[in-house]
């Protein structure tokens, strides 16, 4: 199947009661059984079924299967938010004394999270870009994971996933890829060697801006050495499912960051149009970037612009697409605010991946807790405007942005 057909008819799509074409919402806290013996078996993982929505729910499981099918993993675990997914994915294998190598071009909330990890004895070493050349000098015996965003948000640096994964696997280190901004439509990191894939599914997968959620997908290919990852010791009997087994039965389950059934349902409805939306969004973003790049007094960053250092990698890795985000720099914070306030077809909101075009001033919002050095390393400056392009008609978006930029002169 091709992508859009797979969304509707792939192996992750189940059959539903009474001939329904979409899954029912199991909006319950707990599930009842006829006998105590039945419930005992379910709690002890000796029989299939659901006991309590925090640890499993039918519509949430359907969402997990569908995302896993797109990413071609062996299983997925859905979480209450993208940040909950990042937290659980890393704490599943990390402990006091361990180190992470991460790209500097991360979402501000992830940078803040890594600061929280310091209190747990987990140190993060940041590199400007996730490349073999930059991460190699920082690897030690304590390095237990490398983490990066496939397309940085909002810096828009791009990771060569195949090159980085191959390098790390030779050293027994997993690569954990946040692929939120790439989406399964542009790219499947597991096919290029990534070990764990994370999505903030609140964004493009949902598409409508109506649900907070995250999801973790395991490739099942990494060879976990339990002497280096002792938390997986009791789960090694599950073979390639060891990481998922611990995640679902330990860290994720105990932290309680489960996805609400209603949000899982809304994600399923949204993701069925992911391919259609991403095709339009990426086309709009490219046309808008090319149009405003010709104007005076504005600096534009978009991977497919001529001369962009990631242009060739983006075309090769993402099948000719460049994603749905671009950034503008009009020269000062004051000019950035004036430009944003003069736009007619955008919303000033802190999200990406919506069907509507959204703009935000990252330095004063999502990076407000970061240091100046952290902001600049992430590609965030006092005059940076992040634009998350929607599905409006490209001609209207171009006219709107061109008019607002020209009014600054």
Regarding whether 327 and 210 lie in a shared domain, the answer is: no
**Model pLDDT, residue 32:** 96
CATH number for the domain harbouring residue 278: 3.90.1150.10
**Model pLDDT, residue 325:** 98
**DSSP 8-state secondary structure symbol assigned to residue 19:** G
**Model pLDDT, residue 262:** 98
**Model pLDDT, residue 6:** 96
| Omega before 154 within 30 of 0, i.e. cis | yes
Q: Which residues of the chain have pLDDT under 50?
A: none
In angstroms, the CA 261 to CA 276 distance is 25
Regarding whether 300 and 266 lie in a shared domain, the answer is: no
Regarding whether 102 and 62 lie in a shared domain, the answer is: yes
Regarding whether 322 and 260 lie in a shared domain, the answer is: no
Regarding whether 378 and 280 lie in a shared domain, the answer is: yes
pLDDT tens-digit map of 18-58: 999 999 999 999 999 999 999 999 988 889 999 999 999 99
Look at residues 270, 291, 318 and tell me which one is the last residue of a structural domain. Answer: 270
Regarding whether 85 and 204 lie in a shared domain, the answer is: yes
CA nearest to 92, candidates 166, 135, 145, 161: 145
Number of domains within the chain? 2
CA nearest to 148, candidates 173, 169, 127, 168: 127
Look at residues 225, 253, 270 and tell me which one is the last residue of a structural domain. Answer: 270
Q: Which domain holds residue 333?
A: 274-406
Look at residues 208, 240, 270 and tell me which one is the last residue of a structural domain. Answer: 270
Regarding whether 263 and 145 lie in a shared domain, the answer is: yes
Regarding whether 156 and 294 lie in a shared domain, the answer is: no
Place of tokens 């990252």: 362
Regarding whether 301 and 261 lie in a shared domain, the answer is: no
Regarding whether 350 and 288 lie in a shared domain, the answer is: yes
CATH number for the domain harbouring residue 237: 3.40.640.10
**Model pLDDT, residue 182:** 98
Regarding whether 93 and 74 lie in a shared domain, the answer is: yes
pTM, to two decimals: 0.96
Regarding whether 79 and 16 lie in a shared domain, the answer is: yes
């Amino acid at each position: 199947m091709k992508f859009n057909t797979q969304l509707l008819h792939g192996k992750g799509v189940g059959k539903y009661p009474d001939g329904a074409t979409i899954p029912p919402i199991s909006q319950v806290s707990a599930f009842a059984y006829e006998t105590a013996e039945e419930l005992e078996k379910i709690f002890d993982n000796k029989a299939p079924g659901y006991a309590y929505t925090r640890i499993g729910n039918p519509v949430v499981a359907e969402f997990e299967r569908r995302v896993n099918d797109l990413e071609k993993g062996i299983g997925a675990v859905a979480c209450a938010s993208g940040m909950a997914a990042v937290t659980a994915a890393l704490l599943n294998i990390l402990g006091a004394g361990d180190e992470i190598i991460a790209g500097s071009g991360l979402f501000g909330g992830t940078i803040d999270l890594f600061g929280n990890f310091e209190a747990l004895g987990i140190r993060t070493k940041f590199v400007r870009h996730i490349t073999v050349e930059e991460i190699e000098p920082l690897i030690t015996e304590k390095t237990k994971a490398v983490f990066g965003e496939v397309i940085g948000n909002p810096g828009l640096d791009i990771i060569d996933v195949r090159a980085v994964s191959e390098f790390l696997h030779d050293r027994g280190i997993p690569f954990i890829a946040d692929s939120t901004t790439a989406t399964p439509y542009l790219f499947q990191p597991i096919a290029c060697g990534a070990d764990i894939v994370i999505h903030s599914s609140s964004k493009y997968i949902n598409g409508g801006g109506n649900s907070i959620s995250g999801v973790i997908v395991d490739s099942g290919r990494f060879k976990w050495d339990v002497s280096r990852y002792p938390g997986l010791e009791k789960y090694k009997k599950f073979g390639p499912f060891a990481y998922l087994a611990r995640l679902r039965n330990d860290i994720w389950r105990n932290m309680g960051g489960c996805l609400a059934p209603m949000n899982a349902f809304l994600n399923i409805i949204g993701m069925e149009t992911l391919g259609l939306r991403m095709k339009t969004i990426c086309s709009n973003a490219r046309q808008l970037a090319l149009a405003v790049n010709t104007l005076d007094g504005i600096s534009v960053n978009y991977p497919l612009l001529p001369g962009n250092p990631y242009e060739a990698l983006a075309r090769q890795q993402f099948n000719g697409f460049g994603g749905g985000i671009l950034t503008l720099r009009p020269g000062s914070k004051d000019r950035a605010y004036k430009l944003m306030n003069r736009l007619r077809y955008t919303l000033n909101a802190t999200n990406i991946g919506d069907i509507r075009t959204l703009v935000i001033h990252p330095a004063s919002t999502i990076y407000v807790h970061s240091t100046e050095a952290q902001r600049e390393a992430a590609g965030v400056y006092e005059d940076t405007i992040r634009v998350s392009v929607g599905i409006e008609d490209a001609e209207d978006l171009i006219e709107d942005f061109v008019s607002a930029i020209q009014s600054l002169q």
